[in-house]
Amino acid sequence: MNDRQTLGSARQTTDAAASDSTTAPAGTAASARRPLWLALGGTALVVLLALLPLLAIDIPGVLPGPTYTPGTLQLLAYAMLIAALALSYRMMFGLAGLLSFGHALFFAAGAYGLGMALDAFAPVEWPSELIFLVSIIVTLVAGLVLGATVGALALRVTGIAFAMVTLAFAQAGSVLIRRNPGGATGGDEGLALDITNVPDALVGVMNTRNLYWVALGVLVLVYLVVLWVEKSRAGHVAEATRENELRVRVLGIRPYRLQLLIFIVASVLAAVAGMGYVLLQSGATPRIATVDFTLNLLVIVVLGGVGYRWGAIVGGIVYTLLDQRLTALAGSDAIAALPDVLRIPLSEPLFILGTLFILVVLFLPGGIAGIPQRMRTGRKQHPAEAEETADA
């Protein structure tokens, strides 16, 4: 709380939306009780999600089938992993104001790292479980080292230059993966997961529900870590730095190390989501390392609402479902019958999502998660207004 006080002046003028509603100015009894309700609601939601594979809920048009079917579970699991990734990205962009174009690199590092580690350890004469565990640890360490290296270099510059350096590193990673050094990454074909040492419970269509639970676990884990970072001193300082770097420096705080810390944590979390991804998809494709993939993350976070933690989750899930449903729609007869002027744009999901994104940036600055706030206050919000400090 003390940290809050010293930096309080920087925070009080920022829109309450910039943090989460749980961090709204404390002091009144009503707002003191809200976190409890949110925690309870969140727990209930997680329990509900955990029970989904055992239920037969069918939402036509949104889900491809009832919730117990592998196809639907696969889609939902994928959406949750993307949500987890978006959550880690939001911590950097939304909280700390670091506009990175290279976050996909760490997701890919997790996915390819685990895949390559499992591959490399396959001939070793250890028990499968141990190999699986060691592979995960090795990947985590690799993600940590990569995040620390890239972060330490990129954070030496700020604003747009920071965006460019991260982009350059991600591009290098993407090139490296496509180049398939020593046959390790599978090049353009992608990497197929070597299941020799993957626990049986996580292999095969019949076990999709287990993978679903893993994905849910990843999402919850990432959420809790992000929450912890945001509430910590580092989170508050990073947020204050985004608002007004000069002021933080005047207080004698050097934001570099805290920003680096946040960069590293976000990178490792992205790697965790990547590991979930490679297990879920039984492989990885070079697409997940591209700049476009990061741009999609940016779209997700902004679509959901930069100012809100759960915005990233909503954005991730809405985006994945929309993408999937729009693709299905694109192939439908209804669309095929339309004249070209309508058929061509409507059969390109990314066109629709891109346009939607532009409209959100122009007319709905708080994103989806900002809608309730807007309806309450009836005024415009610009949670992403970090450019003053980002440009300095």
Partner 1 sequence: MSTVVLLVITGLGLGALYFLVASGLSLIYGLMGVLNLAHGSFLTISAFLGWEVGRRVSDGTWLGLAVSALVGIAVGAIVAALTEYLLIRRLYERHIEQALVTVGLSLASVALFEGIWGTDPIYTEKPDWLGQTTVILGAKIPNDRFLLIACALLVLGGIVLFLRRTRYGLIIRAGVENRSMVTALGIDVRRSFTLVFAIGGAAAGLGGVLSSVYYGYVSAHLGSTLLIFAFIVTVIGGLGSLTGAAIASVLVAVLQQFANFYLGGTGDLVVVIALAAVLLVRPRGLLGKVA
Partner 2 sequence: MSAPILTVRRLSGRIAGQQVVENVSFEVPATGVTALLGRNGVGKTSTIRSILGLIDRTGEVTLDGHRIDRLPTHRIVQQGVGYVPEDREVFGSLTVGENLRLAERDDRPRRDFVAQLFPDIHDRRAQRAGTLSGGQQQMVSLARALVNENRLLLVDEPTKGLAPKIVDEVAVALAEAARTVPMLLVEQNLHVIRALADRVVVLSGGRVVFTGEAADLLDDEDRIQRYLGVHDADAAAEGSSR
Residue 99 binds which one of partner 2, partner 1, none, with CB within 5 to 8 A depending on kind?
A: partner 1
Q: Smallest Cα–Cα separation from 188: which of 201, 179, 200?
A: 179
Instruction: Please tell me whether residue 322 binds partner 1 under the rule CB under 8 A.
Output: no
Q: What's the closest the beta carbon of residue 269 comes to partner 1, in angstroms? A: 22
In a 10 Å sphere around its CB, with 0-12 CB exposed, 13-18 middle and 19+ buried, how is residue 27 labelled? exposed
Nearer to partner 2, 36 or 392 (CB): 392
Q: What's the closest the beta carbon of residue 140 comes to partner 1, in angstroms? A: 25
Question: Residue 341 and residue 339: Cα distance in Å, rounded?
Answer: 6
Judged by CB under 8 A, the residue of 4, 66, 351, 374 near partner 1 is: 351
Instruction: Please tell me whether residue 14 binds partner 2 under the rule CB under 8 A.
Output: yes
Q: Which stretch binds partner 1 (CB under 8 A): 117-125, 196-204, 246-254, 379-387?
A: 379-387
Q: Smallest Cα–Cα separation from 251: which of 25, 76, 9, 87?
A: 9
Judged by CB under 8 A, the residue of 16, 35, 354, 374 near partner 1 is: 354
* Residue for token pair 């770097």: 245
Interacting positions 39-78 with partner 2 (CB under 8 A): none
Judged by CB under 8 A, the residue of 229, 279, 298, 313 near partner 1 is: 298
Q: What's the closest the beta carbon of residue 382 comes to partner 2, in angstroms? A: 12
3-state secondary structure 78-93: HHHHHHHHHHHHHHHH
Instruction: Please tell me whether residue 391 binds partner 1 under the rule CB under 8 A.
Output: yes
Strand partners, 191: 284
The letter for the amino acid at 313 is I
Judged by CB under 8 A, the residue of 56, 130, 153, 336 near partner 1 is: 153
Nearer to partner 1, 272 or 314 (CB): 314
Question: Residue 259 and residue 151: Cα distance in Å, rounded?
Answer: 9
Long-range contacts of 62-71 (CB under 8 A, 24+ apart): 62/321, 62/325, 63/321, 64/324, 64/328, 68/209, 70/205, 70/206, 70/208, 70/209
Residue 13 binds which one of partner 1, partner 2, none, with CB within 5 to 8 A depending on kind?
A: partner 2
Residue 148 binds which one of partner 2, partner 1, none, with CB within 5 to 8 A depending on kind?
A: none
Residue 246 binds which one of partner 2, partner 1, none, with CB within 5 to 8 A depending on kind?
A: partner 2
Nearer to partner 1, 93 or 213 (CB): 93
Nearer to partner 2, 292 or 388 (CB): 388
Judged by CB under 8 A, the residue of 269, 277, 389, 390 near partner 2 is: 389
Residues forming the site for partner 1 (CB under 8 A)? 99, 153, 156-157, 160-161, 163-165, 167-169, 171-172, 175-176, 179, 291-292, 295-296, 298-299, 302, 344-345, 347-355, 357-358, 361-362, 365, 382, 384-387, 390-391
User: Which residues here bind partner 2, judged by CB under 8 A?
Assistant: 10, 13-14, 243-244, 246-247, 388-389
